[in-house]
């Protein structure tokens, strides 16, 4: 098909159903609507955005879910393309000011040294000694005296640090950082993915701490940005553009089944019409589509795909996580956030959102992340215990947690799920369980998956 008018007509006669209204689903729907394909997006919950969830706290908008994205990355470029100002939305992007973290210790908060994934360049720094003791520091220094080793066969970050610098540095400096930033224990982290430049630097320098020193000297940290009015501004922009392009968005409608029907598919949606004052009576509705994009989380996506795609086993059982966003009235004695020691609580990280976005002293808005589902009362109590200060106006939200690309084995598992031979024509899946968690990765994946489906439907 080469004639442009044929292409326009083909697009208009290629209906698309997108399942899931997180960022992955919204981007997929926008990419299809943009070329004139009629799109229906189904979102099971009463809210679009999924893991992007801005809440109101003390009269201020704060992100309980995803908060930052890379300058000049896929989200940044998408925001420019969407034209927020034209849509009447605040398009102000704020650059992250400070990323340093503290950890907990018997003697209060201690700054984590500049390093790579918590590995210090100098084990004798005062703050390192305060956390690992003199024994731990001397053991870390032995790294400088031992023959070099490349990551080669040892790509477990934890094992590498233990071998070179000892268990104390691994457990007290690296483990809080990997848990706080990636939700992983050091041995679950693939060093060659999480810090690809470490291996060559280690070979050049002959020690792990020397490699870290070299990288700190040359690194130009990639700036992170957020949106001044909260990340759900991105959700609102996508929603408006999809509607402008004629797409339909049905919230409160869960996809229950996808079956083959002729050359295409039929999707059954179940609507809980609470919004219509209907006392929540469920209704089912069927949608025909030439293209279906499943952009739900793994837990919901697998049963929908079961009869259509033979998917390899799950990479890791789907986890949940809880965040507490709250106000703390004291001026903190910690840096822009805390990665607590593991024994202290279920809290993996506390971020001072106000400090990170450059606001001065005074009342702080903080956000803590805890592994698993924790009750609101327990989550708040743990937060107050770690901070040693009362918090107020706490908003507790739980989320699906997708795997990180840095997790050992993830890249291979994702490649198996992506095998094109598994997927019938017109059917695709996208989202953090396939791309690895992170807005930039999810946006890129949704754009790539949609591009492949669009090409298959319109040019074959």
- Site string (171-200) toward ligand FAD, x via CB under 6 A: ------------------------------
Stretch that binds ligand FAD, among 91-99, 283-291, 326-334, 435-443 (CB under 6 A): 435-443
| Closer residue to ligand FAD in complex, CB, 44/174 | 44
Q: The tokens of 163 are what?
A: 């071998």
Q: Which is nearer to ligand FAD, 176 or 252 (CB)?
A: 252
Contacts of range 3-6, beta carbons closer than 8 Å, 24 or more positions apart: none
143 or 239, CB closer to ligand FAD? 239
Among 15, 24, 166, 230, binds ligand FAD (CB under 6 A): 24
73 contact partners, CB below 8 Å, separation of at least 6: 440
Instruction: In angstroms, give the least distance from the CB of 27 to ligand FAD.
Output: 8
DSSP 13-69: T--EEEE--BHHHHHHHHHHHTTT--EEEEESSSSSBTT--EEEETTEEEESS---E
Q: What CA–CA distance (Å, rounded) separates 436 from 186?
A: 18
| Binding residues for ligand FAD, total number by CB under 6 A | 38
Q: Which stretch binds ligand FAD (CB under 6 A): 64-72, 85-93, 283-291, 419-427?
A: 64-72
Residue 40 vs 121, nearer CB to ligand FAD: 40
Considering the complex, state which of residue 133 and residue 223 has its C-beta at the smaller distance from ligand FAD: 223
Closest to ligand FAD by CB, 292 or 300 = 300
Kindly tell me which of 323 and 380 has the beta carbon lying closer to ligand FAD.
323
Contact region for ligand FAD (CB under 6 A) — 5-13, 30-38, 123-131, 430-438? 430-438
Q: How many CB atoms lie within 10 A of CB 260?
A: 13
Would you call 153 exposed, middle or buried from its count of C-beta atoms within 10 A (0-12, 13-18, 19+)?
exposed
> Percent helix, strand and coil across the chain, each rounded to 5?
40, 25, 35
Exactly one of 74, 78, 255, 291 binds ligand FAD (CB under 6 A); which one?
255
Alpha carbon separation from 199 to 149, 173, 207, 391 (Å, rounded): 9, 20, 10, 43
Residue 17 vs 202, nearer CB to ligand FAD: 17
8 A C-beta contact, residue 445 and residue 430? yes
**For 192, what's the count of Cα atoms within 13 Å in the CB-facing half-sphere?**
10
Half-sphere exposure of 133 (CA within 13 A, CB side): 7
Q: What are phi and psi of 204, to 5 degrees?
A: -70, -40
Contact status: 230 vs ligand FAD (CB under 6 A): no
**DSSP alpha helix (H) spans, 183-326:** 191-194, 198-205, 208-218, 232-244, 298-305
* Candidate list 33, 44, 208, 370; residue touching ligand FAD; CB under 6 A: 44
Residue 18 found at the interface with ligand FAD (CB under 6 A):
no
Q: Applying CB under 6 A, does 52 fall inside the site for ligand FAD?
A: yes
* 3-class DSSP state of 149: coil
d(CA 13, CA 80): 29
The pair of structure tokens assigned to 408 is 């050992």
Interacting residue with ligand FAD among 10, 14, 17, 20 (CB under 6 A): 20
Nearest residue (CB) to ligand FAD, 162 versus 369: 369
Within 10 angstroms of residue 140's Cβ, the number of other Cβ atoms is 27
Interface residue with ligand FAD among 23, 33, 117, 290 (CB under 6 A) is 23
Residues 292-311 that bind ligand FAD (CB under 6 A): 295-297, 300
Q: Which is nearer to ligand FAD, 305 or 442 (CB)?
A: 442
Q: Is 399 in the site for ligand FAD (CB under 6 A)?
A: yes
Q: Please tell me whether residue 323 binds ligand FAD under the rule CB under 6 A.
A: yes
- Residues 361-380 within binding reach of ligand FAD (CB under 6 A): 369
Q: Which stretch binds ligand FAD (CB under 6 A): 47-55, 131-139, 143-151, 447-455?
A: 47-55
Lookup: tokens for 218 = 């040359």
CB 345, min distance to ligand FAD, A:
17
- Binding to ligand FAD (CB under 6 A) within 261-280 occurs at none
Kindly list the residues in this chain that would bind ligand FAD in the complex (CB under 6 A). Answer: 19-25, 42-45, 50-52, 65-69, 254-255, 295-297, 300, 321, 323, 369, 399-400, 402, 431-432, 437-440, 442
């Amino acid at each position: 098909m080469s004639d442009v008018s044929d292409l326009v007509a083909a697009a208009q006669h290629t209906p698309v159903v997108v399942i899931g209204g997180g960022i992955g689903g919204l981007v997929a729907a926008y990419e299809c609507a943009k070329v004139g394909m009629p799109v229906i997006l189904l979102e099971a919950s009463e809210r679009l955005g999924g893991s992007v969830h801005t809440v109101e706290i003390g009269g201020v908008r704060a992100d309980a879910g995803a908060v930052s994205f890379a300058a000049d990355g896929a989200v940044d470029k998408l925001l420019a393309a969407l034209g927020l100002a034209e849509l009447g939305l605040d398009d102000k992007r704020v650059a992250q000011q400070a990323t340093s973290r503290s950890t907990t210790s018997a003697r209060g908060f201690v700054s984590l040294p500049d390093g790579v994934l918590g590995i210090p360049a100098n084990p004798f720094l005062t703050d390192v000694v305060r956390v690992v003791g003199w024994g731990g520091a001397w053991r870390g220094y032995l790294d400088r005296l031992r023959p070099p080793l490349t990551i080669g066969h040892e790509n477990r970050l934890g094992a590498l640090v233990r071998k070179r610098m000892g268990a104390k540095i691994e457990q007290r400096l690296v483990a809080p950082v990997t848990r706080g930033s990636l939700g992983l224990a050091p041995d679950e982290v693939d060093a060659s993915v999480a810090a690809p430049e470490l291996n060559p630097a280690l070979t050049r320098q002959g020690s792990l701490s020397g490699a870290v020193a070299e990288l700190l000297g040359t690194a130009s940290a990639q700036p992170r940005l957020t949106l001044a009015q909260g990340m759900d501004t991105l959700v609102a922009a996508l929603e408006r553009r999809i509607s402008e392009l004629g797409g339909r968005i049905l919230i409160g409608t869960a996809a229950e089944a996808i079956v083959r029907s002729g050359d295409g598919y039929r999707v059954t949606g179940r609507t809980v019409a609470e919004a219509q004052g209907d006392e929540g009576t469920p209704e089912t509705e069927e949608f025909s589509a030439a293209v279906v994009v499943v952009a739900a989380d793994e837990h919901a996506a697998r049963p929908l795909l079961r009869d259509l795609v033979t998917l390899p086993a799950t990479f890791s059982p789907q986890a949940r996580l809880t965040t507490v966003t709250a106000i703390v009235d004291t001026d903190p004695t910690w840096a822009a956030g805390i990665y607590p020691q593991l024994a202290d609580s279920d809290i993996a990280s506390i971020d001072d959102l106000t400090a990170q976005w450059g606001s001065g002293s005074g009342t702080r808005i903080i956000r803590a992340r805890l592994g698993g589902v924790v009750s609101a009362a327990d989550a708040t109590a743990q937060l107050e215990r770690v901070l040693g200060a009362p918090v107020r106006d706490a908003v507790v939200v739980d989320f699906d947690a997708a795997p990180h690309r840095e997790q050992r084995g993830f890249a291979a598992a994702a490649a198996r799920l992506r095998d094109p031979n598994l997927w019938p024509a017109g059917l695709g899946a996208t989202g953090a369980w396939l791309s690895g968690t992170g807005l930039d990765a999810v946006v890129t994946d949704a754009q790539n998956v949609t591009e492949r489906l669009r090409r298959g439907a319109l040019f074959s």
